[in-house]
Structure 1
Amino acid sequence: MYFGTVLLSNIALAVTYGSAFPDFKISSRQNSCPSVWANISFELTGQFATGLGYTDSARAAIRAAFHDCFSGPGGCGRSLILAGELDWDINSSIRDIGNTLSSMAMKYSVGAADIIQFAAAHAIKTCTNGPTVQILIGRREWSTPAPQSEIPGASDSSDTLLSLFAQKGFTDVDLTALIGAHTCARQFTTDLATADASLDRTPGTWDVAFYQQTLGGTVPFSFQSDVSIMHSTQTAPIFQLFAGNVAAWE
């Protein structure tokens, strides 16, 4: 594989060209990032970070990548945009960013599946203390909708979630670590009475406050699914570990 790095507006993204997966059909490999991704990065920077801080578009971009990857046979290339899944009610909170990324994919002539994952990596890095995420460019794209039932819900039990994620190859540790992304999240549709409530008190910072404050009951809002993971005998010790050890979570 070859790696390129986009450096723009204090954003560093490592982009991988080529693939470890034989299903991906790549016509060529490159050892530098095409300028188109720098142009996309510049445009995303304007959407994800403002004078008011970390934006809801950035949060939606992270969630969109998860929804695009998790269900259906195509993995992170199905794609959320091409399969018409933005019309689903469960995707209402990511519809705007999905439409924005769809327009950008056409504008810059890049893959819809690629731009979804690139935008998520960009959004994570935009978050204060957010890590640099290496992503693959060159995904095969799918236009067949996936089963909606495969997307985890905010009220799912730990048993349901552990089963769903195990089917995708995620361990208990993986699942508990993944929900830590809620450190930069807000909810808009689960409870309309508290729309815009954050899931920890520092929603613009990538940290373990989500675990700490969920355990302490001091978060502005909690998904029932997160609370269930916190209490599950399988994941409670992991949840508690991450609350006290940022290095373990990272």
Structure 2
Amino acid sequence: MKASTALLLVGWAATRAFCYPGLSRAMAELQGLEGGQSSLGKRSTEVIGDLASMPDDALTPSGTAIKEILAGGSANADSTTYTPPGDFLSATCQRILLCVWHWVVVELRAAFRDDAGCTALARGAIRQGFHDAATWDRDSAYGGADGSLLLNDEELARQDNMGLAEIAAQTRAWHAKFAPYGVGMADLIQTAALVATVSCPGGPRIRAFVGRRDDARPGPAGRLPLPFQDAPELLALFAAKTFTPGDLVALLGAHSASAQRFVDPARAGTPQDSTPARWDTRYYGETLAGDNSTILIFHSDSSIAAYAETRARFRQFAAVGGQILWNPAYAQAYFRMSMLGVTNLNNLTEITWVLPLAQ
């Protein structure tokens, strides 16, 4: 990377990090966590949204399922599938939520999988889902998984959303086609992220719910992680979103299916592990190995890999058999991500059965 580019991005990152609302409080929370091996497998069990204050006897079946997952249950879906009663153009299909979403997912899947594995659009959809949802934290009056990333031009144009133009344009086209049949932007973004994940060979099938409220207001700025941040800042950033250090390590594994373009423009297209079309744990091992010649290792990733609070978990995922640990950990953490800022969780509807099966 040219020195001038590096200095510009580092300065931008530092400014964003230290202007981050709630940083001091989140850092204090992290200092209260148990260190070392005792916190290795810890995941967040904090219930969020409307479910946090709702008694169990007021929960719908969806609300019950979502609360159970957030509180510690598995987010992995079984192999149950859905058979539509007809094609998308049939009047019968258009009256049935699952049928409409079945045909949405058929289009997504066609764009997200090819003979090599998951496509560049799939990788973009995974990142897009994160960038829409992660504008929320406990200090936010709004934001989160609300579709705002694509419902206004201001948010999409932010520097931390560079590289999303292609998947954003395609998602907006899908939305224009399916919105008349009840498909919202927030749901489309998150469903696309889940379809993209399971379209990657090895990727988990994560339970899916729809019914989020769209909000066109630009999400709060300064809530997304930056590739030049150090581990303590990143842990504080994610703690404010209700994630544990272990959750963050699991979420970083999505870089397994990533090819950067703007962190180092001179190496645009360089992946973050050697198998970007597959969902595997090579990212963890190759980040630890530190060979930056064939892949591009973000400073933020190497910092998390080496930090006392996260390095053991990082190495667990890198070790033989790490995929068995990582897939459910990622599913749980991303499920939480997809619900950030959603205030009507009890009224969502499950559509898991329309998702492709894991490969």
Q: TM-score, normalised by structure 1?
A: 0.84
Deviations 1:139-171 (A, max 9, x none): 011111123211111111111100100001100
Matched, 1:83 2:152: yes
- 34, 42, 46: which is aligned to 2:110? 46
Is the 2:105–2:195 contact (alpha carbons within 8 Å) kept by the matching residues of 1? Answer: yes
Which structure's residues are more often strand, by fraction? 1
Q: Give the C-alpha shift of residue 50 in structure 1.
A: 2.5
- In structure 2, the residue matched to 1:111 is 184
Is the 1:47–1:57 contact (alpha carbons within 8 Å) kept by the matching residues of 2? Answer: yes
Is the 1:13–1:134 contact (alpha carbons within 8 Å) kept by the matching residues of 2? Answer: no
Distance 1:190 1:159 in 2: 20
- In structure 1, the residue matched to 2:202 is 129
Q: Secondary structure at the match of 1:187?
A: coil
Give the counterpart letter for 1:91 in structure 2: N
- In structure 1, the residue matched to 2:325 is 248
Matches within 5 A, 1:37-186: 37-72=101-136, 73-84=142-153, 85-109=155-179, 110-186=183-259
Q: Secondary structure at the match of 1:37?
A: helix
Distance 1:212 1:92 in 2: 27
% identical aligned pairs: 36
Q: Give the C-alpha shift of residue 194 in structure 1.
A: 0.8
Give the counterpart letter for 2:134 in structure 1: F
Higher Rg = 2
Q: Give the C-alpha shift of residue 137 in structure 1.
A: 0.4
The answer for unaligned runs of 5 or more in structure 1 is 4-11, 16-31
Give the counterpart letter for 1:49 in structure 2: R
Which structure's residues are more often helix, by fraction? 2
Q: Give the C-alpha shift of residue 227 in structure 1.
A: 0.6
Distance 2:81 2:288 in 1: 34
Deviations 1:39-66 (A, max 9, x none): 2122222211234542111100000000
Give the counterpart letter for 1:37 in structure 2: W
Give the counterpart letter for 1:221 in structure 2: L
Distance 2:240 2:206 in 1: 24
Distance 2:149 2:114 in 1: 26
Q: Which has the higher contact order (CA 8 A, sep 6+)?
A: 2
Over the residues paired in the alignment, what is the CA RMSD in angstroms?
A: 2.0
Is the 1:14–1:132 contact (alpha carbons within 8 Å) kept by the matching residues of 2? Answer: no
Is the 1:81–1:98 contact (alpha carbons within 8 Å) kept by the matching residues of 2? Answer: yes
Is the 2:249–2:304 contact (alpha carbons within 8 Å) kept by the matching residues of 1? Answer: yes
The answer for unaligned runs of 5 or more in structure 2 is 1-60, 66-78, 83-95, 137-141, 328-359
Give the counterpart letter for 2:309 in structure 1: Q
Distance 1:13 1:172 in 2: 32
Distance 1:248 1:54 in 2: 21
Distance 1:93 1:13, change over 3 A: farther
Query: Where does structure 1 differ by over 3 angstroms across 4 or more consecutive aligned residues?
Result: 12-15
- In structure 1, the residue matched to 2:298 is 223
Is the 1:184–1:202 contact (alpha carbons within 8 Å) kept by the matching residues of 2? Answer: yes
